[in-house]
Amino acid sequence: MSLEPGLVDANVLVYAANRSAPRHSAASRVVQSAFDGSATLYATSQILCEFYSIVTNQRRVEKPLSAREALGLVAATSKVLHILPMPRQGVEILLELLRRCPVTGGDIFDLQIVAAMMANGIQRIYTFNAADFQQFSELEVIVP
């Protein structure tokens, strides 16, 4: 499967790691394209932390992974995904996004992802939560 370069959201990583998830096949194809080198895919350290948090939390997944299992997946995944930094410009972009879209609570984390993408010139995101990113006309949101 050949994909255009883009950022992979945490939910894609979660579904790829869970063989019994209904979206496993689609998510797995996206992640596998990074492993086989057919696509240049990105993540942020925040996304890797979100992934770790979800897959080890029994309230979020039916069969949580142990810390050791999750660490192994994060380590393997971080070797094939390009991890975007959050430069100073990204913080300024985040502040501007907050002025434009004054979110509250946990919604700040999606804005932080968008700010990191914009600061690094990434315009495409692979996610199953398209509604979280539809308000950003500068992004191409792809549901696998």
pLDDT tens for 135-144 read: 999 999 999 9
- The answer to the question of residue 122 being in a domain is no
Domain count within the chain: 1
CA dihedral for 132, 39, 4, 138, sign (positive or negative): positive
> Which residue range forms the structural domain that includes residue 24?
6-84
pLDDT tens for 14-55 read: 999 999 999 999 999 999 999 999 999 999 999 999 999 999
In the chain, where does DSSP find H-type helix? 10-17, 24-35, 45-55, 67-80, 88-100, 108-119
Cα separation, 133 vs 131, in Å, equals 5
- The answer to the question of residue 106 being in a domain is no
